[in-house]
Chains A and B, each alone.
Chain A
Amino acid sequence: MSGDHIGPAATLAAQVRHLEGLLEQRGLVDATELDRALEAFLSGSSPANGARLVARAWLDEEFRSRLLADATVALPELGLSMGGGLQEQRLKVVENTEDSHNVIVCTLCSCYPIALLGPSPTWYKSEAYRSRVVRDPRGVLREFGFVLGPAAAINVWDSSAESRYMVLPRRPAGSEDADEQSLAARVTRNGLIGVAPV
Chain B
Amino acid sequence: MAERFGPGDRVQASRTDPPYHTRLPRYARGAIGTVMERQGRYPLPDRSARSLPAEPEPVYAVRFTARELFGAGDHTVTVDLWESYLRPAALEGNR
A-B CB contacts (within 8 Å), total count: 75
Which residues between 11 and 58 of chain A lie within 8 Å of chain B, taking CB atoms? none
Q: Which residue of A lies closest to B23 (CB)?
A: A160
Contact of B20 among A1, A108, A136 (CB under 8 A): A1
Report the interface size for chain A: residues with CB under 8 A from the other chain: 24
9-residue interface stretch from B1-9, B71-79, B87-95: B71-79
Given known A1-B21, A108-B23, contact A161–B75 (CB-CB < 8 A): no
Given known A1-B20, A2-B22, A135-B66, contact A160–B81 (CB-CB < 8 A): yes
Q: Which residue of B lies closest to A102 (CB)?
A: B78
Q: Which residue of B lies closest to A137 (CB)?
A: B75
Interface string of B54-83 (1 = CB under 8 A from A): 000001010100100110011111111110
CB distance from B28 to the nearest CB of A (A): 8
Interface string of A71-100 (1 = CB under 8 A from B): 000000000000000000010100000000
CB distance from B71 to the nearest CB of A (A): 10
**C-alpha gap A160/B80 in the complex (Å):** 5
Residues in chain B near residue A4, CB distance under 8 A: 21
Indicate if A153 sits at the interface (CB-CB under 8 A).
Answer: yes
Contact B75 A153 (CB under 8 A): yes
**C-alpha gap A92/B79 in the complex (Å):** 13
**C-alpha gap A52/B62 in the complex (Å):** 29
Contact of A161 among B20, B69, B70, B81 (CB under 8 A): B81
Majority secondary structure, A binding face: loop
Given known A158-B80, A161-B59, A162-B59, contact A108–B75 (CB-CB < 8 A): no
Contact B26 A163 (CB under 8 A): no
Contact B76 A135 (CB under 8 A): no
Given known A4-B21, A107-B25, contact A161–B82 (CB-CB < 8 A): yes
**C-alpha gap A55/B50 in the complex (Å):** 43
Contact A158 B73 (CB under 8 A): no
Contact of A159 among B26, B40, B80 (CB under 8 A): B80
Contact B80 A108 (CB under 8 A): no
Contact of B40 among A108, A154, A157, A162 (CB under 8 A): A162
Seed contacts A92-B61, A153-B76; 5 additional CB < 8 Å A-B pairs? A1-B19, A2-B26, A107-B25, A161-B82, A162-B39
